[in-house]
A and B are shown apart, each in its own frame.
Chain A
Amino acid sequence: LAKTTQPISMDSYEGQEVNITCSHNNIATNDYITWYQQFPSQGPRFIIQGYKTKVTNEVASLFIPADRKSSTLSLPRVSLSDTAVYYCLVEGSSYKLIFGSGTRLLVRP
């Protein structure tokens, strides 16, 4: 199973765009890249998923280069309520999801 590496923490201010990059050098052909968000005392919540190039939904965008060895979650115009831990996962032909330590995003006023 591909392992992921992300920054431990990031700081931002309200209204800014935040980009969180995840490294997954051993990604396999069948693997998808998924990002989850977790608030304190809650379970993780799905944000976005992609296989290659760019995916956008109402919450975020996900950029995946051609070699797929990394991906970037982009949160446009963050607010205080976006303060959370963000997890990058690589998953494919397996039932197991491997969560790393995640990136703790702090949005300041």
Chain B
Amino acid sequence: DVKVTQSSRYLVKRTGEKVFLECVQDMDHENMFWYRQDPGLGLRLIYFSYDVKMKEKGDIPEGYSVSREKKERFSLILESASTNQTSMYLCASIPKPQGTYHTDTQYFGPGTRLTVL
């Protein structure tokens, strides 16, 4: 069974701390994504990666960075956590498209609910 796992379901950190959110997928997918989800705002794309060591900014990259050293792992880093980064963080992956691009399944992890005090 395909799987995307995230390191924690719930996390509580203090303002100014450095925070690492880890995502691992076992499907050999090239593309991985980090989203945050807030009430009334839907899912917003933070960063994505289409290959090892490759990354691109999404719609709201400010205050975040990412790391993709291995194909199966995509890390989201909050360099100095702030209260406005309290949110649900979702990781997802999809395979490299074949031919005309479309995806029939983007696989999501269970999410990490981060609270910054």
Contact = CB atoms under 8 A, between A and B. Distances in A.
Interface stretch (A15-23, A76-84, A90-98): A90-98
A45 B108 contact: yes
Contacts of A94: 101
Interface in A51-71: 51
Interface in B51-106: 56, 58-59, 90-92, 100-106
Contact of B102 (A42, A49, A96, A102): A49
Contacts of B104: 34, 46, 49
A13 interface: no
A97 B56 CA distance: 13
B31 A95 contact: yes
Nearest to A36: B106
Contacts of B100: 30, 93
Interface of B: 4, 31, 33, 35, 40-45, 48, 50, 56, 58-59, 90-92, 100-106, 108-111, 113
12 contacts: A30-B100, A32-B102, A36-B106, A42-B111, A43-B92, A43-B111, A44-B106, A49-B102, A91-B101, A95-B31, A97-B106, A101-B42
Interface of A: 30, 32, 34, 36, 41-46, 49, 51, 87, 91-102
